[in-house]
Structure 1
């Protein structure tokens, strides 16, 4: 999550912080014995949704909110029977006691903006005539449930209204298969008169929609921006971290800053919301760091927010490195931005340890201290990996080692262990002296060894013992995955 927010976008940021052209349909694999089907019907005013859930076999005990905010949004719930609907009790959860296999339940959700029951919770937001409503508001999870149950979903939308990409493509009957990730993580979804702009990236595809509002950049320029950021991030794993991702571009009035804010939602498919200044120039948008930062999050497992220093640190480090690798910045510019960031990190915070600052970041707003401390540790770890392997290993390789756990939720030490390939590896050794100290990590010794120094006119890259590693960090690296079929 990023904190470069101007007043014109503050309302959207507070809410978020918390299909157009599609591929040809393909039939789903045979369904398991138990199947649950969701039908999400949006009312024409885009302020209420009726969800019908049908249980073809066993019935769970309840339908539970996937986020605390969703508990306050359900207005009514009923089981549908031949003699008419029968009300179901709602006490946070929707009780399904008395519902029989083969019956359907319907609940009505209030999607009106401005109703957040929990401070900082993700809520809905109107952008002109369009609506952003995260799954946390309207998706309810069967409780209990097991992996053998097939979960299928479809939207029934008013004429002219489409939903942004949030789940895999529908079959010929309109059903989309969703999995446990849809209930574990929040995804961001837009509804409105949307057109999907499909952007091929190495090994994957981005489905982008632009919400109601004016932008200086046209569709071709938006594809160039997102495609360039997608290629840059592909230089970590050799391919884009997801085969498919949805991007919601939110025009932000009275702003010329390229991207004011970004946030990632994870689910059956990742979703990313990016607030773009309506007056942003194309030449400023393409080299901007925000999309690169947010896409980088998809390359690592999710870590709980109280330990955000590691995932935000990795994304903050890579937002410089990857732009240099892709030619969006020169190496000198990338190192210069990194040095500026380290200076910011030293000057911010509440004087507590990195572990404590990270835990309380959303309350203290010590974003600079947390993000840039994590970035300093990422740089030190990258150098440690390269030095310990005579230049044959890197932080990229560590990210690849952890990439098969991208759909999991880990603690920081679990992610470090996955990246190191065991206990006590280079990353763990770098972190240990700093995580429980109140000083900013001492990255100066590493920078001096690399030959990176701030001069009067900007950064200076000097002859130094680590100059070859310094240059290799910004090198494009291995070839990227091909995407011969583009966005099918």
Structure 2
């Protein structure tokens, strides 16, 4: 029993202290488009001797005119507020200048948007010990809202949502403006797409067709999307060299994906994109923290190639070549001699700009695990099947896992020791991992990884994964949060 309790604490360090019983808290939000201001109230059914409220560390600088509906006083301290003798049914009211918040964030980014984009952690206050809330949002006519919250049945300009609380340092993104909205339904879930601008009809059709193919690619992992509701925010940023210039996955208060695009590019340019599949691939693993960045980014980088090959967006030969080129870049980016262990490089990744080594070392881990699983099981189990089993039992959007707990659970689900054994090996590596030559990989394993026909096409390519790659584009950096509006936290 002690071992189970300890694991529970490792897996659920945040949610364990929250109260989910009874009616959730209730938000009423009203947006004023003329002033770009959100008027908010939070009502609680339970009385409390002392009730505390907080957002993230920036909230005290963004929340204005905070008051209790009873007229009783509030005390501010640190990054929050407290209220004594809170009454059942009482409400907290405030306003936040979202325009000022969004403009301040935009000044620190090279990517600008016409929409008002903020992290709700900076202005949406939560009551202590509350795990979930329902929200009603009143919007002006013609104004759309993109959030990671779970949509509930709504009517007219009033939107209703359910919000699951997450740690305050998990990034979320909310956009308000004149956007085009669509829901893409796929087995297992829905992508709630909001396109800024909005684009002209031809651009909108092209973007939606591309996102449809991206979502189809995600379902090739194990037949369905891993999460029921995912926010997809598409922000036009004008003429660019690439169709998609930046992507970011977020987990705060739900799962989201933001893509900065040049909507004027043709369909072929979007077909060549890998960023959207990379970011969508982060849905297949839980939040792993900075220490697990090499696992998280490695999995997304591995799947961005595998899933595109399965969906026909790449040939299997092209996918193997992309992996070969990435491994060559990762090897070249790993310091020779006195390099830090991979886990420490993950912790230092943003400060030291060590993205290439971290991403591609992690990719090498997932490939090695996939090959060993398929070899040991006669092709019955691979990384995709292990992730499917994890999805079925354990993939909750609000739950954070330590890297060790994650790989040990994958081993338990797959009946193996390969995930944890390889994890212990790779996390301490001070060199780039060894990667096999392609012609030494079993054809059945190649076919199982890339899908039908993958073995034959890959074998015909004849690439050696230890040869120097020919592409120099820093693909792993384009999808990072580094330099993005409000970027903070890890997936």
* Fold in common (TM above 0.5): yes
Q: Residues 11-34 of structure 1: CA distance to partner in whole angstroms, max 9, x if unpaired?
A: xxxxxxxxxxxxxxxxxxxx9644
Write the distance in 2 (CA, Å) between the matches of 1:271 and 1:102. Answer: 32
Q: CA, structure 1 residues 300+158, in 2 after alignment: closer, same or farther (shift >3 Å)?
A: same
Paired position in structure 2 for 1:293: 278
Q: Secondary structure at the match of 1:272?
A: strand
Paired position in structure 1 for 2:314: 329
Report the Cα offset of residue 345 of structure 1.
Answer: 0.9
Q: Residues 13-66 of structure 1: CA distance to partner in whole angstroms, max 9, x if unpaired?
A: xxxxxxxxxxxxxxxxxx96444211122232454322211122234621121x
Paired position in structure 2 for 1:178: 163
Q: Secondary structure at the match of 1:237?
A: coil
Match of residue 475, structure 1, among 432, 444, 451: 451
Match of residue 122, structure 2, among 137, 143, 154: 137
Write the distance in 2 (CA, Å) between the matches of 1:124 and 1:88. Answer: 39
Q: Residues 235-255 of structure 1: CA distance to partner in whole angstroms, max 9, x if unpaired?
A: 213201222222110112230
Paired position in structure 1 for 2:372: 384
Paired position in structure 1 for 2:9: none
Report the Cα offset of residue 409 of structure 1.
Answer: 0.6
Write the distance in 2 (CA, Å) between the matches of 1:323 and 1:383. Answer: 19
Write the distance in 1 (CA, Å) between the matches of 2:154 and 2:315. Answer: 48
Q: What is the root-mean-square deviation of aligned Cα atoms in Å?
A: 2.9
Q: Secondary structure at the match of 1:307?
A: helix
Write the distance in 2 (CA, Å) between the matches of 1:215 and 1:374. Answer: 40
Report the Cα offset of residue 85 of structure 1.
Answer: 7.9
Q: Does 1:168 align with 2:111?
A: no
Contact 2:173 2:256 in 1 (8 A): yes
Report the Cα offset of residue 340 of structure 1.
Answer: 0.7
Q: Does 1:421 align with 2:412?
A: yes
Paired position in structure 2 for 1:104: 91
Write the distance in 2 (CA, Å) between the matches of 1:139 and 1:161. Answer: 20
Q: CA, structure 1 residues 312+264, in 2 after alignment: closer, same or farther (shift >3 Å)?
A: same
Q: CA, structure 1 residues 212+356, in 2 after alignment: closer, same or farther (shift >3 Å)?
A: same
Contact 2:371 2:382 in 1 (8 A): yes
Paired position in structure 2 for 1:127: 113
**Which structure dedicates a bigger proportion of its chain to helix?**
2
Q: Does 1:449 align with 2:425?
A: no
Q: How does 1:329-368 map to 2 (within 5 A)?
A: 329-349=314-334, 351-368=339-356
Write the distance in 2 (CA, Å) between the matches of 1:114 and 1:441. Answer: 43
Paired position in structure 1 for 2:41: 52
Q: Does 1:202 align with 2:194?
A: no
Write the distance in 2 (CA, Å) between the matches of 1:125 and 1:133. Answer: 14
Q: CA, structure 1 residues 425+71, in 2 after alignment: closer, same or farther (shift >3 Å)?
A: farther
Write the distance in 1 (CA, Å) between the matches of 2:315 and 2:88. Answer: 62
Report the Cα offset of residue 71 of structure 1.
Answer: 4.2
Match of residue 425, structure 2, among 429, 433, 444: 433
TM-score by length of 2: 0.78
Q: How many residues align?
A: 421
Report the Cα offset of residue 182 of structure 1.
Answer: 8.3
Q: Secondary structure at the match of 2:370?
A: helix
Q: CA, structure 1 residues 200+298, in 2 after alignment: closer, same or farther (shift >3 Å)?
A: same
Structure 1 residues without counterparts, runs of 5 or longer = 1-30, 451-465, 478-488
Contact 1:224 1:286 in 2 (8 A): no
Paired position in structure 2 for 1:401: 389
Report the Cα offset of residue 475 of structure 1.
Answer: 0.6
Write the distance in 2 (CA, Å) between the matches of 1:152 and 1:125. Answer: 32
Q: Secondary structure at the match of 1:200?
A: strand
Report the Cα offset of residue 203 of structure 1.
Answer: 3.0
Report the Cα offset of residue 257 of structure 1.
Answer: 0.4
Q: CA, structure 1 residues 434+102, in 2 after alignment: closer, same or farther (shift >3 Å)?
A: closer
Q: Does 1:306 align with 2:291?
A: yes
Contact 1:357 1:366 in 2 (8 A): yes
TM-score by length of 1: 0.79
Q: CA, structure 1 residues 400+91, in 2 after alignment: closer, same or farther (shift >3 Å)?
A: same
Write the distance in 2 (CA, Å) between the matches of 1:358 and 1:85. Answer: 48
Contact 1:77 1:94 in 2 (8 A): no
Paired position in structure 2 for 1:247: 232
Report the Cα offset of residue 86 of structure 1.
Answer: 5.3
Q: Secondary structure at the match of 2:284?
A: coil
Match of residue 27, structure 2, among 20, 24, 38: 38
